[in-house]
């Protein structure tokens, strides 16, 4: 995901370097020219028939091929790429500081092959991936597996501490680790938002989110989708352009409830809303509407001036932004004060 974040593939292709995704889901998405749909399962929105059709179009396979046949086709193609590639690029699920290694957890073995076959191995990982000790993997590896894919532990778990050493026969001759900031130190400096850097990218909050389940990953228009994407994207890519993600939430709190590392996601969405309002990024019409609402709420007689019909007309026909995506509002004909008076007199 971190290479998606910096659009590495696009850049490499623009300078004439062939760059091939090796995770099967990512490979499918790359063949289709689409961004990942989900941070753990990039092609989850495609059926096996969709993938068979895509492979038939792009790779000339049988349009009725089974998932096993499709997987074997991808495997054959990718094995050849590992042998030819000069550079293998991986991320790191964790960077383990006491042993100076990167920890990678996966189910397909593709990261392991990318580390081992090419002459040069480049690791790109966010600075938040650093954990203190190898002992911490005893917690974090199973935690990520359980919350990510429901496994007790994933199939391949690798700890890579450097390139090939004298006397060894396998591995790259060079290994580079690039620590990516890209806005993370600013999140770290923000006392309230800091906890979003705890994220281990398990994807559980996406799976639990009613918004994500309805609109899907691509609608976010960002690398990281779902609740965690809505929290961090405005900070990574600009509050003004991405603040709307934090507003597109029912704040039901499902994400917070399922989060593997207990990030207060729905409260951080609210924090983003406060931040954007404090930064003066609200629309003029919205500011006027809230000011009018405040004045009306502070002065009851003003609210009582309008009849129910007038209020209905105003909110449904004048403030059309409300009804564009929601049902009409219907105010009762009598005001609250009138109804109170009828029921309780002057009490």
From 203, 212, 230, 269, residue interacting with ligand SF4 (rule: CB under 6 A)? 203
Mark the segment that binds ligand SF4 (CB under 6 A) among 26-34, 170-178, 196-204, 291-299: 196-204
- Chain centre distance of CA 105: 19
Task: State both tokens at 36.
Answer: 């990942």
Question: By CB under 6 A, what part of segment 252-281 binds ligand SF4?
Answer: 258-261, 263, 265
Give the torsion sign (CA, 326, 280, 271, 298).
negative
The distance of closest approach from Cβ of residue 194 to ligand SF4 in the complex, given in angstroms and rounded to an integer, is 13
4 burial level (CB within 10 Å; 0-12, 13-18, 19+): buried
Q: Which is nearer to ligand SF4, 35 or 52 (CB)?
A: 35
CA separation for the pair 174, 67 (Å, rounded): 36
Terminal C-alpha separation, the chain: 63
Within residues 126-155, the interface with ligand SF4 by CB under 6 A covers: 147
CA 46 to chain centre: 18
**63-122 binders of ligand SF4 (CB under 6 A):** none
Q: Are 134 and 159 in contact (CB under 8 A)?
A: yes
Q: How far apart are CA 67 and CA 52, in angstroms?
A: 8
Of the two residues 51 and 222, which places its CB atom closer to ligand SF4 in the complex?
A: 222
Q: Site for ligand SF4 (CB under 6 A): which residue of 43, 54, 122, 204?
A: 204
Which of 323, 291, 328 is closest to 312 using CA atoms?
328
Among 24, 95, 199, 245, binds ligand SF4 (CB under 6 A): 199
Q: How far is the CB of 260 from ligand SF4 (least distance, A)?
A: 4
Specify the residue, 143 or 303, whose C-beta has the smaller distance to ligand SF4: 143
Nearer to ligand SF4, 102 or 263 (CB): 263
Using CB under 6 A as the criterion, which residues of the chain lie in contact with ligand SF4 when the complex forms?
147, 199-205, 228, 258-261, 263, 265
């Amino acid at each position: 995901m971190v290479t998606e974040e910096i659009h590495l593939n696009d850049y490499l292709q623009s300078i004439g370097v062939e760059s091939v995704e090796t995770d099967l889901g990512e490979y499918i998405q790359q063949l289709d020219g689409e961004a990942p749909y989900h941070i753990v399962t990039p092609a989850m929105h495609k059926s096996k028939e969709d993938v068979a059709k895509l492979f038939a179009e792009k790779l000339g396979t049988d349009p009725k091929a089974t998932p096993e046949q499709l997987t074997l086709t991808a495997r054959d193609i990718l094995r050849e790429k590992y042998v030819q590639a000069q550079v293998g690029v991986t991320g790191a699920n964790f960077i383990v500081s006491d042993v100076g290694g990167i920890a990678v957890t996966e189910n397909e073995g593709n990261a392991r092959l990318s580390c081992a076959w090419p002459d040069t191995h480049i690791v790109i990982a966010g600075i938040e991936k650093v954990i203190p000790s190898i002992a911490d993997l005893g917690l974090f590896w199973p935690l990520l597996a359980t919350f990510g894919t429901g496994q007790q532990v994933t199939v391949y778990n690798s700890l890579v501490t450097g390139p090939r050493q004298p006397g060894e026969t396998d591995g790259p001759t060079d290994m580079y680790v690039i620590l990516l900031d890209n806005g993370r130190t600013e999140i770290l400096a923000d006392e309230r938002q800091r906890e979003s850097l705890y994220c281990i990218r398990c994807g559980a909050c996406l799976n639990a989110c009613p918004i994500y389940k309805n609109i899907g990953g691509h609608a976010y228009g960002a690398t990281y989708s779902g609740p965690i994407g809505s929290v961090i994207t405005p900070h990574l890519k600009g509050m003004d352009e991405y603040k709307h993600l934090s507003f597109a939430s029912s704040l039901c709190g499902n994400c917070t409830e399922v989060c593997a590392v207990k990030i207060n996601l729905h409260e951080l969405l609210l924090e983003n809303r406060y931040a954007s309002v404090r930064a003066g990024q609200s629309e003029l019409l919205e500011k006027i509407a809230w000011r009018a609402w405040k004045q009306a709420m502070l002065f009851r007689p003003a609210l009582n001036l309008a009849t129910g019909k007038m209020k209905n007309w105003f909110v449904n026909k004048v403030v059309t932004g409300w009804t564009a995506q929601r049902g009409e509002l219907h105010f009762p004909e009598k005001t609250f004060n009138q109804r109170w008076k009828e029921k309780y007199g002057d009490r």
